[in-house]
A and B are shown apart, each in its own frame.
Chain A
Amino acid sequence: MLMSIGLVKKSTFDEYFRQCRRGIKMGFYSDSNYKVRKDLDKVHENQFKNLGEPGSWGSGAQRIAIASQVREACYEKGIQERPGHSSDHDDTILPDVAKSLINKLSTSPKDFLEDSYTEAIDGGLTNEEYVEIVGIVSRVTDMDIFARGIGVELRPLPEPKDGLPARDRPLEAKQELAWVPTIPSHPEGGKLAEDLFGTGHKAYIMRALSLVPNENRMHMELENIQYLPVKNILIADYQHHDGLSRAQSEVVAGRISAFNECFF
């Protein structure tokens, strides 16, 4: 449908994959009719690759299964379009408790309350697994919304890579005010906190996924490029995107968050 109404250049999209197979570099979103900044293009390409790698608690196959489940839930709800390259979804890799969490958080974050978290933990997920899933769900819905926004098909998910998860729970993490343990701000959170969030007190949005430090890093990497560098957040007229003032960016941010009933 996208190709028939001229919003996707089929020849460019097919060419992207041909050139990738030959090892020739094209932009990740080279099939877009709208210009995508190089750093944004690159960060999404890298983050898609990362999905297929073994994580902290999930294997590459499990992580791709999570991403695929996000997409299936969104296709089912009608808020994403199944791309032409879509491969078969393997429904057997993830336990039902994980699928339930993914389906709910992907499609209806405004209805996601503490009972949804409790259900996941009582159903057998550890906090660490839970946080890694939340991280992946959030990043995949993010990048898929971006693709939808610029009018291109969803990017193909990578093939999963072999290897074991790192299983590296940070000793610094403790129960603070979120449902899940978090690493406290520096100095209490120590060197790891300084590495992840810098020095000084940091709001929970910067620390929410810190029980799985790599997911926290991925989240903040996207934050700095998609929204603005966090160090500039208090500069009221800071402009990060071509043609879009800070005020215009905040119109979009506020509207999306209102739709998702995100009080934070």
Chain B
Amino acid sequence: MDIGVPGGRELLDFSDALVGDDRKTLDAARIALANSIGEETIAGAAAVAANFTKNDRIANGCGIPTEPMVLKATKEIRAELNLNDFRSAINSSRHFPDDM
């Protein structure tokens, strides 16, 4: 599948491995990412992954809803990607059921 960006496959593999439980897979994914789009991207990719590790725990940990404007704008793509099946969707649907 063409991810649509250079190194897209390697970025996905690195992200998956970073939150997984197999260190060898992570080390291999890091090397593959460096070989694909350059060593200089590793810290940036790790930083973005770290940032969303933080944000996901804050969002799910505090039960915050998504803004109605964002819900309206993303209705189609959420349905396409089955994002409404995420358990944390309830934090939005209980406040804005008509926008889901």
Contacts and interface: CB of A to CB of B under 8 A. Distances in A.
A248 B38 CA distance: 13
Nearest to A36: B43
A51 B45 CA distance: 24
A109 B61 contact: yes
B32 interface: no
A112 interface: yes
Given A242-B44, A245-B5, A151 B30 contact: yes
A88 interface: no
Given A241-B48, A248-B6, A264-B59, A141 B54 contact: yes
Contacts of A96: none
Given A5-B27, A111-B87, A151-B27, A177 B57 contact: no
B15 A263 contact: no
B50 A146 contact: yes
Interface string B1-19: 0011111100110111011
Interface residues of A, number: 74
A14 B38 CA distance: 28
Interface string A145-167: 11011110000000000000000
A145 B50 CA distance: 5
B73 interface: no
Given A205-B55, A209-B58, A248-B37, A263 B88 contact: yes
Interface string A133-149: 01101110111011011
Contacts of B70: 203
Contacts of A179: 62-63
B63 to A, nearest CB: 4
A138 to B, nearest CB: 4
Contact of A203 (B27, B40, B52, B67): B67
A245 B37 CA distance: 11
Contacts of A180: 62-63
15 contacts: A35-B39, A79-B21, A114-B63, A138-B57, A142-B53, A142-B54, A146-B50, A205-B59, A244-B41, A253-B51, A259-B16, A263-B66, A263-B84, A263-B89, A264-B55
